Amino acid sequence: MHIIDSHFHWWPRSIFDRLCKRKDYPRASVNEKGGYSYFRRAGSGCHLNSWAEWFDLDKSFEYMDSLGHQVDVVCSIGPFSVSFSDMPLAEGRDFALMWNEEMAGAQKKYPGRVWASAAVPLQDTGAAIEVIDDAVNRLGLMGVNLPGSVGEDPRIDAERLEPFYAHVEKLGLPLFLHPTDVIFQDMLDGYEGALHLSLGRVIEVSVAAMRLILSGVMERHPKLKIVMSHTGGSLPYQAGRMDKNSKAAKLPRPVTDYMKRMYTDTVSPHSAGIEFAIDYYGIDHVMYGTDYPCWDPAPCLKLIDQIKLSDADKQKLFYDNARRILNLRDPVVAPASKREPALV
């Protein structure tokens, strides 16, 4: 089967090597697992420990090939996406441009097998728009990463960001919404990160999505394409509560109308959770995704096998939906130049 993994992470080492040279926070250091330990601020927990698999795209594809399918991938940043908004603007912009160059390089190295989305520095709306235009028009990236917060600010629905959302909507780009390990990090600290990783990220991405809804961002921008990670966080399972208790926002339609406009993936180590996401959002709004290397694709595939899906729905889930929702296009291959016969 030809599969597109819509929730896949590859991080370029060049970014983290540069972070290791920073004296201020955020910064990084090499760890014993072949990756890096990342520190947002003094005294914060280190929830973004990475390991070797995050940084080797060739080996990632070797593993994907061992699954017995042709697997293409869509690279998104994940929780690290907030880092570009944590720094002073000039640095955040430079790091974002550097990240986007690396992503474009991966697309060129693996044409038609890798698609990648852009980093943006959201602490300045004008700079974010400029970086998006560069990423799309010059580098050919296919989407934008939206962290669940902007640095220390949890308000991704801030009024100053309205032109950012309008611009993304105009360009027709998907926004990959992912938790960022910022908002609930202190409240859920301890247990070597277990509470934050298991629950904190689900809460954070759910709060971020609700901010986009309750603020009216989704109402004002009906073509905005939000890709909500992790089977929609907690929102599909609390949909009735969202409608019942959100009337004070005075939206023209029920909250669930906006929720169902979003798209999501299959990142849930629980077949019932994946099945509920498909039932709630509809098969046309769900894409296969694994969160690799955070989750092994092999058990993900087995969990999906436990769900009764027609062959047509499997084709949508594993391939067609990603091509349509993310507007993935085959690479343009330059025609071979015709050479004149050599003179004898």
**pLDDT score for 312:** 98
Its domain, for residue 303, covers 2-325
Per-residue DSSP letter, 26? S
- Contact between 45 and 38 under an 8 Å Cβ cutoff? The reply is no
Determine the average pLDDT of the residues in 93-101: 98
Within a domain: 335: no
**Residues 6 or more apart in contact with residue 334 via CB below 8 angstroms:** none
In the chain, % of residues over pLDDT 90: 81
- DSSP H or E segment with residue 116: strand 114-116
Decide if pLDDT at 185 tops 90: no
pLDDT number for residue 215: 97
Residue 171 has pLDDT above 80, yes or no: yes
User: Is residue 342's pLDDT more than 70?
Assistant: no
Average pLDDT, the chain: 92
Q: How many DSSP H helices and E strands does the chain contain?
A: 15, 10
Here the CATH number for the domain that contains residue 270 is 3.20.20.140
> Binning pLDDT at 50, 70 and 90, where does residue 339 land?
low
Between the alpha carbon of residue 188 and those of residues 38, 184, 237, 286, the distances in Å are: 18, 6, 22, 29
Q: Is residue 339 part of a domain?
A: no
Residue 337 lies inside a defined structural domain of this protein = no
- Domain membership flag for residue 344: no
Query: What per-residue confidence (pLDDT) applies to 344?
Result: 38
Tokens of 85: 């908004």
- Would the pTM count as exceeding 0.85? yes
| pLDDT at residue number 238 | 94
CA dist 166 and 177 (Å) reads 16
Average pLDDT over residues 115-137: 97
Does residue 303 fall inside a structural domain?
yes
The answer to whether 234 and 276 are in contact (CB under 8 A) is no
What confidence score (pLDDT) does residue 264 get?
97
Q: Measuring CA to CA, which residue among 230, 187, 188, 233 is closest to residue 209?
A: 233
Q: What is the pLDDT of residues 224-258, one digit of tens each?
A: 999 999 999 999 999 999 999 999 999 999 999 99
Q: Is the pLDDT of residue 311 over 80?
A: yes
- pLDDT tens digit string along 205-217? 899 999 999 999 9
For 253-301, the pLDDT digits (tens) are 999 999 999 999 999 999 999 999 999 999 999 999 999 999 999 999 9
What count of other Cβ atoms lies within 10 Å of the Cβ of residue 100?
Answer: 23
Per-residue model confidence (pLDDT) at position 6? 98
Given a contact cutoff of 8 angstroms between Cβ atoms, the answer to whether 50 and 17 are in contact is no
Q: How many domains does the chain have?
A: 1
Q: How crowded is residue 223: how many other Cβ atoms within 10 Å of its Cβ?
A: 9
Reply yes or no on whether the pLDDT at 184 is more than 80. no
- Number of Cβ within a 10 Å radius of residue 237: 15
Return the pLDDT at 40.
84
Q: b/e string for 52-73 if b means 16 or more Cβ within 10 A?
A: ebbbebeebbebbeeeeeebbb
Say if 151 falls within a structural domain. yes
Convert the pLDDT of each residue in 62-87 to its tens digit: 999 999 999 999 999 998 999 999 99
Confidence class for position 186, pLDDT limits 50, 70, 90: low
| pLDDT of 219 | 98
Does residue 330 lie in a domain region? no
Q: In the predicted model, what is the mean pLDDT of residues 49-57?
A: 94
Does any domain span residue 139? yes
